[in-house]
């Protein structure tokens, strides 16, 4: 039987092939590859979609975080609060600027920041917080914003996985000083290579970000400050402009795929399905559940042709990269438990009902087999 992949980008390409090929050809005919008309148009379109005034296209989601932190004035010695349960870029962007990530634990239901733990992380060096809307579900932004305003912190939303999600009916990207997006190919809106964008309400900050992405120069060959070469390129912008009008439809399909998973997987002993908390929409970048004996279940699913992934097996406070910060196992227990239990199932808009049925049966069997092994011990 054919393996069901985690992601099927080919199915999406086939569905938009003609308009995509034409858009790419148009860029090739024009031969203007850096900061052309597609980048400018996409910046406006994404900003509008996010409920922000300005968009600044950059080379990746990681660069979006780095440049936004820089524009927020973060530098050596500053502390930035980040959840420990996220992709590494959320924190290595902080340390790349010489600042220190301060890791927070997560809420076990939503996998986003545990807002009740934030107060005790604040020191006189704390300057910013990065809420991550993990798997496509918004963090508790009311609490994050109230906390940030009490302590005068900048808020940078890591919206890499959550484009299209809402919090109190408003796009989650519109919360905070900056929204940092990734267009990595597997994201809900994915380029055909790397790409990212920062969205903000603030005109001056947008202008600073444009300066930072081009060698610190507003005027060609005149550099004001140390900057980067980090631009979204014109081909990627053209690709993303073809995809953006389809995003709402693809998101609706993801939500319907998740609902079907919930139905098919209901009642499996020991399995915890994703929870969507009140006041939020979840765009299911990933459909991630908790399973007992996760690694054995994952191996069994692979054996029967169901690809799965673990997002993420090692929380950041336990990564060798951050060893120097002095964290130990047990420091952030909710994230550590999640890292041992989470399993992401195949998720993409074109996933069929029959595929979900097959994945559901395979998961049920794999989990039941593990429970039998456990009781026989």
Ligand X SMILES: Cc1ncc(COP(=O)(O)O)c(C=O)c1O
Strands (E), 245-335: 287-290
Rounded least distance, CB 134 to ligand X, Å: 7
How many C-beta neighbours within 10 Å does residue 260 have? 18
Which region, judged by CB under 6 A, interacts with ligand X, from 55-63, 76-84, 200-208, 314-322? 55-63
Which region, judged by CB under 6 A, interacts with ligand X, from 17-25, 135-143, 154-162, 356-364? 154-162
Indicate whether 62 belongs to the interface with ligand X (CB under 6 A). Answer: yes
Rounded least distance, CB 285 to ligand X, Å: 8
Residue nearest to ligand X (CB): 61
x/- letters, 271..310, toward ligand X (CB under 6 A) = ----------------------------------------
Total residues contacting ligand X by CB under 6 A comes to 15
User: CB-wise, 161 or 298, nearer to ligand X?
Assistant: 161
Question: Residues in the chain, how many?
Answer: 377
Residues 317, 103 contacting (CB under 8 angstroms): yes
User: CB-wise, 12 or 188, nearer to ligand X?
Assistant: 188
The C-alpha angle 282, 332, 308, rounded to 5 degrees, equals 45
> Which residue of 20, 23, 54, 60 would you call a contact of ligand X, by CB under 6 A?
60
Which region, judged by CB under 6 A, interacts with ligand X, from 26-34, 82-90, 113-121, 253-261? 82-90
Indicate whether 214 belongs to the interface with ligand X (CB under 6 A). Answer: no
x/- letters, 308..347, toward ligand X (CB under 6 A) = ----------------------------------------
Buried b (16+ CB within 10 A) or exposed e, 48-66: ebbbbebbbbbbbbbbbbb
Indicate whether 160 belongs to the interface with ligand X (CB under 6 A). Answer: yes
Residues 131, 147 contacting (CB under 8 angstroms): no
How many C-beta neighbours within 10 Å does residue 364 have? 16
Rounded least distance, CB 312 to ligand X, Å: 9
Residue 217 CB contacts under 8 Å (≥ 6 apart), including other chains: 211, 223, 224, 227
Q: Which two tokens stand for residue 288?
A: 């991630």
x/- letters, 106..145, toward ligand X (CB under 6 A) = --------------------------x-------------
Q: Which two tokens stand for residue 222?
A: 């005149």
Supply the DSSP symbol for 285: S
Residues 107, 140 contacting (CB under 8 angstroms): yes
Indicate whether 90 belongs to the interface with ligand X (CB under 6 A). Answer: yes
Write the burial class of residue 365 (CB in 10 Å: 0-12 exposed, 13-18 middle, 19+ buried).
middle
Indicate whether 38 belongs to the interface with ligand X (CB under 6 A). Answer: no
Distance separating alpha carbons of residues 59 and 236, to the nearest angstrom: 10
Distance separating alpha carbons of residues 139 and 127, to the nearest angstrom: 19
> Which residue of 12, 38, 86, 308 would you call a contact of ligand X, by CB under 6 A?
86
Residues 136, 311 contacting (CB under 8 angstroms): no
Q: Which two tokens stand for residue 292?
A: 């007992």
Rounded least distance, CB 292 to ligand X, Å: 26
x/- letters, 177..206, toward ligand X (CB under 6 A) = -----x-x---------x-x----------
The footprint of ligand X (CB under 6 A) covers 60-62, 86-87, 89-90, 132, 158, 160-161, 182, 184, 194, 196
């Amino acid at each position: 039987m054919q393996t069901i992949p985690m992601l099927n980008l080919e199915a999406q390409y086939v569905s938009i092939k003609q308009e995509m090929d034409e858009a790419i050809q148009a860029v090739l005919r024009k031969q203007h590859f850096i900061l052309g008309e597609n980048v400018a148009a996409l910046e406006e379109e994404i900003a509008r979609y996010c409920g922000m005034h300005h968009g600044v296209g950059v080379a990746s989601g990681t660069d979006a975080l780095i440049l936004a932190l820089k524009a927020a004035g973060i530098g050596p010695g500053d502390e930035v609060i980040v959840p420990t349960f996220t992709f590494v870029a959320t924190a290595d962007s902080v340390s790349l600027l010489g600042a220190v990530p301060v890791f927070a634990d997560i809420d076990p239901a939503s996998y986003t920041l545990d807002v009740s733990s934030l107060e005790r992380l604040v020191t006189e060096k704390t300057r910013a917080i990065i809420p991550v809307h993990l798997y496509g579900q918004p963090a508790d932004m009311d609490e994050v914003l109230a906390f940030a305003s009490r302590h005068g912190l900048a808020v940078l939303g890591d919206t890499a996985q959550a484009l299209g999600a809402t919090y109190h009916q408003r796009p989650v990207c519109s919360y905070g000083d900056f929204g940092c997006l990734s267009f990595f190919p597997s994201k809900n809106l994915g380029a055909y290579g790397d790409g990212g964008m920062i969205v903000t309400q603030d005109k001056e900050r947008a202008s600073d970000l444009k300066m930072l992405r081009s060698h610190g120069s507003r005027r060609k060959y005149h550099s004001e400050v140390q900057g980067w070469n980090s631009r979204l390129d014109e081909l990627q912008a053209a690709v993303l402009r073809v995809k953006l009008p389809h995003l709402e439809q693809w998101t609706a399909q993801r939500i319907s795929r998740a609902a079907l998973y919930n139905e098919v997987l209901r009642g499996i002993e020991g399995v915890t399905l994703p929870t969507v908390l009140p006041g939020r929409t979840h765009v299911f970048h990933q459909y991630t559940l908790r399973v007992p004996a996760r690694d054995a279940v994952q191996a069994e699913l692979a054996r029967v042709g169901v690809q799965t992934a673990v997002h993420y097996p090692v929380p950041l406070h336990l990564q060798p990269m951050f060893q120097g910060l002095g964290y130990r196992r047990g420091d952030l227990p909710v994230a550590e438990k999640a890292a041992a239990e989470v399993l992401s199932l195949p998720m993409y808009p074109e996933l069929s009902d029959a595929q979900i049925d097959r994945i559901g049966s395979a998961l049920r069997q794999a989990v039941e087999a593990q429970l039998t092994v456990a009781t026989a011990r």
